[in-house]
Structure 1
Amino acid sequence: MNPESLELLEYERLRSLVGRYVGSEAGRRELGRVEPSMDRAALETGLAEAAEAMAWFKDAAKPKIRGGDTAPRLRFEGLPDVEAAAAKLRIEGVVLDALEISAIVMVLERATEVRLALAPQSQFYPLLAGRAAQIGDFRPALRQISGKILPDGSISDDASVALRRIRRDKERMRGDIQDSLERFLKSHREDGLLQEEFVTIRNERFVVPVIPGAKKKLPGVVHGSSGSGQTLFLEPIETIDLNNDLVRMGEEELREVYRILREMTDHLREHRFEIQGAAETLAALDLIFAKARFAQDFDCVIPRFSPDEAPRLLLKSARHPLLQDVLKRQQKKVVPVSLELDSSRRTLLISGPNTGGKTVAMKTVGLMALMAQSALPVPAEDAEFPIYDDVLADIGDNQSIEQSLSSFSAHVARIKEMVEAATSGALVLLDELGRATDPEEGGALGVAILDEFRQHGAFTLASTHLLALKVYGSNTPGVVNASMGFNEETLEPTYVLRIGAPGKSAGLDISKRLGLPARLIERAHRAMSSTERDIATFLNQLEAKIGEVSAEAEELRKQKADLEAREQKLTKEMEQRERARLREFEQTAAEAQKRFEQQAREAIESALSAPEQRKQVEKVMRQVARTKREFQESVESLAHPEKARKQAPKEEIVEGARVRLRDVSGPARVRKVLNNGLLEVDVGFLKMQVPITEVTEVLKGDAPQSKMLPKGVSLTTGPRWDTLSREVNIIGKHAEEALEEVDRFLDSAYLAGVLRVRVVHGHGMGILRKGVQDLCKAHPNVEKYYPASPSEGGTGATIVELKEN
């Protein structure tokens, strides 16, 4: 990315703002490596990791599905920087000091915490868990080292048996020396040779303070004097050997400490690559969670990247993070920016009042594009960007006395660089285009520059006060005018970006608000040409109309949302009432059926007590069974009317139509419409005649061709059925002949898809009836059978219901 644009858009300040949320020095070093990139896959992965970290914080206090626990707290604050120490481990023979080892131990302990917290959570946070899974298991190594180094960097007595013994001997030797010197002081207390009665240490040896004249009278070694020279520090002759032993023990201690440090260093050296990887992973996770905390505080979202073939720049309620940070401390809110550009509209020309927020709007877009391409969440409600190959900005006054550049010269020089660098994949930001020169020439130059970037295909945002550019924006395809709002009553900018029309500069109005004398304002109004006044008036009216339309549109949007919410609520309430009604109806019907069955059972049991009434009881039982079935069908039809088949209007039935017939599972094709109210139909491979009232539904479309027959194979329909074909009459026939005919009849009815037929066998001696019932009981296509109702022949006929094929 262009370094000057990064500076103009204050990218480094943004990085410092994010740096507030980084806990460790290694994390800050990782943040220092963050820069805008064009690697789509890496950016999407980085943003997905930030999204998971945001979800981690959001879910931190919520029980997880995995077992009811909450997300553990991850600690990165105060994590020591072990980069130098880890580098030393790669050099054979180098021994780390205690503080370096202690720092590495702390890092490994934190790394272990992070691994145990994140690695098992792959179901919820797969990317973070994947990072954590790269951290090795350092628990065995930590058991060898932990506790041997104290917080102050000293080696614990428990680090080795030898060290404990040496230190115990040293302590005992100190006690002996202290006792010896105290006896010395006591014996010479009355000599006047002692300066003070206390024991101190000089050059790591125990001594006592004496006067200068005592040097010749007291045997021993002098180890220096006080600053005034009035005190000498004497090691008496009787303690020299003891002090020598103490020094020797101190050297032994140092050698043992060095041995322990070397042993721990060698142990860590075995894991040097894992240690370096763990430190790098912790630094990366520190930055990822810093992004998430930044996103929490600044109400950020994860931006999307549009496809290269359909680039789109979309911002909804976007806020400049640096401005938001400043205003937040003042307990104020940023006025958000919303805009949309795409492949057909790549240029946005912003006009409007001075101090109205044009520059902030452009800086917001530019900085957010850089943030998105740095895999950082952006403060907005929604955001989508193309992946830009460069961001080119000319913002502010770049005049330089040293380089003899005026404002206009610096402006032109910068634009020259931008034109040379611009591509179709660039984002161009031009503040006050055509400024610092004659308005007419500046306008003409601005139009030429803007059109150059438009022809390059770059996404361009430019701000201006010049009329020529506003006209260009209104008349040029692919260019969109926009304006910053201005309140005519308070003479203050509203900082709201409005898309669709240019705005007026309002320089005189703002000057009046800022306290410029009224006489100057009036003189300036008189100096304006009539054309300029007319244009200003027109823009005022246009802005007022846009405000009205925007307000009406917002009101309509709210009303639409309210209506949709109300409609959903009413629909839900109706569905609930309907379900309650159906439950109540079904419950009432079930209770009625239960009472009916109970009463029927009691009546039947009472009747069975009289043998002469058994035949009549059997008839009643059959009627009860039929009534129960019809009652259930009626309940189902009333409770679920959508399932009930509709009676097909007679006028819809024409030759060739596909229809459904009552008690026939498959569709039928109408061959002829007869004058006597009958239809001749094909049902499967069979042909039959049925009353037109048997039609329950006329089907739409043509019947599907059979997929069962090979090419070139045809079937001929069976014998013609008449209107009585749904029943067979076997009265007067021998049992064997009759049952064979019934068997053929049932097979033919099943093939035709007929679901309900009647077998007429008469009363007689009951031989045919029993034979038909035995046949039905064993027939594979029979679903159930029962005596016919009185209107259908009573016990002289049997109703047979066939299975659906």
Structure 2
Amino acid sequence: MLRVKLNNYMDERTFETLELPALIELAARYVQTAPGRIRVTGLRPSNSRSLVLRDLEITGECVAHLKSEGKFDLTGIDDPAPILSTLSIKATTLEPRQILALERLLLAGKSLRDFMKSAEARTRYPQLARIMAGIPDLGFLLASMRGKILPGGEIDDSASPELRTLRRELAERRSRIHRALQSIMRNRSQAIQEEIITFRNGRFVIPVRSDSRNQVPGVVHGLSSSGQTTYIEPFSIINQNNELVRLRELEEIEIARILSALTQALRDQLPAIRTTLEIVTEIDVAQAKALFALQFDCTAPRISDGRDLVLHDARHVLLEHSLRASGSRPVPISLALNEECGVLIVSGPNAGGKTVVLKTVGIISLMAQMGFYVPAREALLPVFDQVWADIGDQQSISANLSTFTAHMRNIARMAQQVQPPALVLLDEVGTGTDPEEGAALAIAVVDYFRRKGATTIASTHYPRLKMWASQTPGVRNASVEFDEQTLRPTYRLILGTAGSSSGIEIARKMQVSEEILAQAQAMVGPGHAQATEYLRRLKAILEEQENLRAALEKERLDLAQARARLQADYKKKEEARKKEFESALQATIDEF
């Protein structure tokens, strides 16, 4: 459901860029009802903190319910919107299958309503209880409908006393007609083509050989395709067939009356049925979010009051979904931004995962603001009024836009409309033009969003932008790791250091001629070479510190486990000593 405030610029272009439609399509696989699927495909982020918190709480209660009690069964509910439209028109009558569809909806609503009658359920699931309490009590309506229409759409004999009587009479009349026709066929066996009773023009007839049709006086109701068989209604059963026709017409009238009465009973409760539909759909969507969370090992994001954005071991859920087919998993990322440091510059080699970092943060932010749990070990997220993304090649031949022009037009629109709290994602900002001017533009664009107070993550290959990030308060460098030995990216995000683009190393991996690579290496300026070497040394120092931190953490955990074992041993021995003392004391008392 779209729930937004004014000045919200989460437009469809941003959603497409961050692959929100693909995420929604994936989530839609977990709904059980047709209205639920329609609702899921219309989901959009909310920028209301209270609504986001409420939706996340509802998702959490559904997760808890799935783990302890299983799914709410909402299967078999088709889209009732056309049926309800018909029901709103006076003097219309629903078809049996349409009535069955509404009965299934009402049964699902009753099941949810009944579940929340217990005090324990209301205590464990307060948000779900609040929602389900709004389901109207339509038990009387269900009772009036129960058993009248069979699963195949036929009207049951017990739908009314009149229908039961008519069908009993119909069965008896058919039986008498069959006995009469069987007697005629036995007496005129030479004239009969085949001893079967068939039905033509709504009347029972027998197949007579065309060359012997005069032997069976009666009304002809047609010939076989070969012309060798004539279907005759003997004069002796015409009155009985007439009575059968009359009874069938009375049956149809009674069925029409029953359907009309059921339709009117439903029409009288149309507002309550619409309310039931709304709540059943809401529960279906909430449960789909919970199923999605369990399927992708998602966690409940905490919602920050300010700009704090913290992700630990976050994954791009669409990338994870696509990698599962090959048995792989994406490399998780961790990062932290806040009021003091709200800008992150991500650098590193091509195909190293810079764009994935931007998209991961973007899609996780949108997920949280739609009430989804997020694929991360831990997440603390702001509620953004705006999410902007300039990612990918936006070249347009039809609009006469080059890649650079398209990016600049998009960035211009973002700069004109950005209002915090906002998330701005810029992929290789400033590329596609003269490198000197591109680097200057990149710095100016990122600094503009920094001064505007937008949480900004930008990827780059420009050394000047990396240097600016290292010297500017509120800006932090990060890099995607590149393994110098294997010449492959590891996709790890390393905070605190800029990364080298490693263009020559990647070209060597792509088997570019060594002659070309040697010439390229010779043409690299000494300043650039020194900066690259500095980044490598800095990365090595950071890795050494990280390894030391990991070793200290392991030692801390080992000490904690050893202490816990000692405490457990001490407790066990103390309990044994106490028991021994009490036994000795009791023995002394007994002797005394």
TM-score, normalised with respect to structure 2: 0.91
Distance 2:251 2:267 in 1: 24
Cα gap change, 1:570 to 1:187, in 2 (>3 Å): closer
Q: Does 1:335 align with 2:331?
A: yes
User: Which deviations, in whole Å up to 9, do the C-alpha atoms of 1:675-731 show, x marking residues without a partner?
Assistant: xxxxxxxxxxxxxxxxxxxxxxxxxxxxxxxxxxxxxxxxxxxxxxxxxxxxxxxxx
From 247, 250, 260, the counterpart of 1:249: 247
Q: Does 1:30 align with 2:54?
A: no
Specify every segment of 5 or more residues in structure 1 that has no aligned partner in the other structure, as ranges. 61-70, 599-805
User: Which deviations, in whole Å up to 9, do the C-alpha atoms of 1:731-767 show, x marking residues without a partner?
Assistant: xxxxxxxxxxxxxxxxxxxxxxxxxxxxxxxxxxxxx
Q: Secondary structure at the match of 1:429?
A: strand
From 232, 237, 240, the counterpart of 1:239: 237
User: Which deviations, in whole Å up to 9, do the C-alpha atoms of 1:569-617 show, x marking residues without a partner?
Assistant: 545655666677678779878998x799x7xxxxxxxxxxxxxxxxxxx
Aligned amino acid, residue 395 of structure 1: I
Q: Which residue of 2 aligns with 1:76?
A: 74
Contact 1:80-1:106 at 8 Å conserved across structures = no
Give the alignment of 1:345-424 within 5 angstroms: 345-424=341-420
Contact 1:481-1:501 at 8 Å conserved across structures = yes
Distance 2:505 2:99 in 1: 69
Q: CA deviation at 1:483?
A: 0.0
From 194, 197, 200, the counterpart of 1:199: 197
Q: Secondary structure at the match of 1:286?
A: helix
Distance 1:529 1:350 in 2: 23
Q: Secondary structure at the match of 1:150?
A: coil
Contact 1:147-1:156 at 8 Å conserved across structures = yes
Distance 2:70 2:129 in 1: 13
Distance 2:269 2:181 in 1: 51
Q: How many residues are matched?
A: 581
The structure with the largest helix share of the pair is 2
User: Which deviations, in whole Å up to 9, do the C-alpha atoms of 1:47-70 show, x marking residues without a partner?
Assistant: 101111111122x2xxxxxxxxxx
Q: Secondary structure at the match of 2:135?
A: coil
Q: Does 1:41 align with 2:50?
A: yes
Q: Which residue of 1 aligns with 2:6?
A: none
Q: Does 1:136 align with 2:136?
A: yes
Distance 1:83 1:351 in 2: 51
Distance 1:163 1:486 in 2: 80
Q: Does 1:450 align with 2:420?
A: no
Q: Which residue of 1 aligns with 2:93?
A: 95
Q: Does 1:181 align with 2:181?
A: yes
Q: Which residue of 1 aligns with 2:122?
A: 122
Cα gap change, 1:230 to 1:518, in 2 (>3 Å): farther
From 487, 499, 505, the counterpart of 2:495: 499
Contact 2:307-2:342 at 8 Å conserved across structures = no
User: Which deviations, in whole Å up to 9, do the C-alpha atoms of 1:228-271 show, x marking residues without a partner?
Assistant: 66655443433333222211111100111112222223333443
Specify every segment of 5 or more residues in structure 2 that has no aligned partner in the other structure, as ranges. 1-9
Q: Which residue of 1 aligns with 2:436?
A: 440
Distance 2:221 2:463 in 1: 92
Q: Secondary structure at the match of 2:124?
A: coil
Aligned amino acid, residue 490 of structure 1: T
User: Which deviations, in whole Å up to 9, do the C-alpha atoms of 1:24-74 show, x marking residues without a partner?
Assistant: 11211221332111121111111101111111122x2xxxxxxxxxx3652
Cα gap change, 1:258 to 1:523, in 2 (>3 Å): same
Give the alignment of 1:647-662 within 5 angstroms: none
Q: Which residue of 1 aligns with 2:62?
A: 53
Aligned amino acid, residue 427 of structure 1: L
Q: Secondary structure at the match of 1:123?
A: helix
Cα gap change, 1:507 to 1:232, in 2 (>3 Å): farther
Distance 1:570 1:158 in 2: 75
Q: Secondary structure at the match of 1:20?
A: helix
Q: Does 1:550 align with 2:559?
A: no
Q: CA deviation at 1:227?
A: 4.8
Q: CA deviation at 1:468?
A: 1.2
Q: CA deviation at 1:172?
A: 2.1
User: Which deviations, in whole Å up to 9, do the C-alpha atoms of 1:407-438 show, x marking residues without a partner?
Assistant: 11111111111111212211111111111122
Q: CA deviation at 1:367?
A: 0.5
Q: Does 1:109 align with 2:107?
A: yes
Cα gap change, 1:9 to 1:224, in 2 (>3 Å): farther
Q: CA deviation at 1:190?
A: 3.2
Distance 1:37 1:454 in 2: 24
Q: Does 1:319 align with 2:315?
A: yes
Cα gap change, 1:588 to 1:257, in 2 (>3 Å): same
Q: CA deviation at 1:276?
A: 2.4
Q: Secondary structure at the match of 2:30?
A: coil
CA-atom RMSD, angstroms? 2.7
Q: Does 1:9 align with 2:18?
A: yes
Aligned amino acid, residue 534 of structure 2: F
Contact 2:349-2:503 at 8 Å conserved across structures = yes
Distance 2:505 2:225 in 1: 79
Contact 2:28-2:41 at 8 Å conserved across structures = no
Aligned amino acid, residue 300 of structure 2: I
Distance 2:225 2:527 in 1: 93
User: Which deviations, in whole Å up to 9, do the C-alpha atoms of 1:342-383 show, x marking residues without a partner?
Assistant: 011111000001111110111000001111111111111111
Contact 1:119-1:132 at 8 Å conserved across structures = no
Cα gap change, 1:236 to 1:514, in 2 (>3 Å): farther
Q: Secondary structure at the match of 1:490?
A: coil
Q: Which residue of 2 aligns with 1:648?
A: none
Q: CA deviation at 1:549?
A: 1.6
Q: Which residue of 1 aligns with 2:264?
A: 266
Cα gap change, 1:203 to 1:339, in 2 (>3 Å): same
Distance 2:117 2:400 in 1: 60
Q: Which moved more, 1:264-273 or 1:314-323?
A: 264-273
Q: Which residue of 1 aligns with 2:465?
A: 469
Q: Which residue of 1 aligns with 2:154?
A: 154
Contact 1:313-1:386 at 8 Å conserved across structures = yes
Q: CA deviation at 1:22?
A: 0.6
Percent identical pairs in the alignment equals 39
Q: Secondary structure at the match of 1:38?
A: coil
Distance 2:211 2:20 in 1: 74
Distance 1:225 1:240 in 2: 19
Q: Which residue of 2 aligns with 1:661?
A: none
Q: Secondary structure at the match of 2:154?
A: coil
User: Which deviations, in whole Å up to 9, do the C-alpha atoms of 1:8-34 show, x marking residues without a partner?
Assistant: 111111011111111111211221332
Contact 1:9-1:363 at 8 Å conserved across structures = yes
Distance 2:278 2:145 in 1: 21
Contact 2:307-2:455 at 8 Å conserved across structures = no
Bigger relative contact order (CA 8 A; separation at least 6): 2
TM-score, normalised with respect to structure 1: 0.68
Aligned amino acid, residue 445 of structure 1: L
Distance 1:579 1:233 in 2: 99
Distance 2:213 2:57 in 1: 80
From 276, 279, 290, the counterpart of 1:278: 276
Q: Which moved more, 1:556-565 or 1:27-36?
A: 556-565
The structure number with the bigger radius of gyration is: 1
Contact 2:300-2:374 at 8 Å conserved across structures = yes
Q: Secondary structure at the match of 2:492?
A: strand
Contact 2:345-2:478 at 8 Å conserved across structures = yes
